[in-house]
Amino acid sequence: MEIIVYSTDLYIFCQKQKAFLESLGVDFVEKDIQKNEQYREEFFELDGTGTPLTVFKVLSYSLDLIH
């Protein structure tokens, strides 16, 4: 699973979200939508309306795990 956090440096909730994931030892990719136009476009394509926006991407799964 890949975890992506769309964030900005300005909001305390973005900082808290990243600190929470780090405290759990969870690997994630941070995408700052203020500093990178491509990340901002991705954010709006996901219908993002506020930060942090956390996306969990399931890369693959096994049907055996579902049963």
Instruction: Report the 3 state secondary structure along 13-27.
Output: HHHHHHHHHHHCCCC
| Whether pTM exceeds 0.85 | no
Q: What is residue 49's DSSP assignment?
A: -
Share of residues in the chain with pLDDT > 90 (%): 81
pLDDT in tens, 39-53: 999 999 999 999 999
The DSSP element (H or E) to which 3 belongs, if any, is strand 2-7
Q: Is residue 59 scored above 90 in pLDDT?
A: no
Amino acid at 58: V
Per residue in 23-37, pLDDT (tens digit) is: 999 999 999 999 999
Q: What is the pLDDT of residue 60?
A: 72
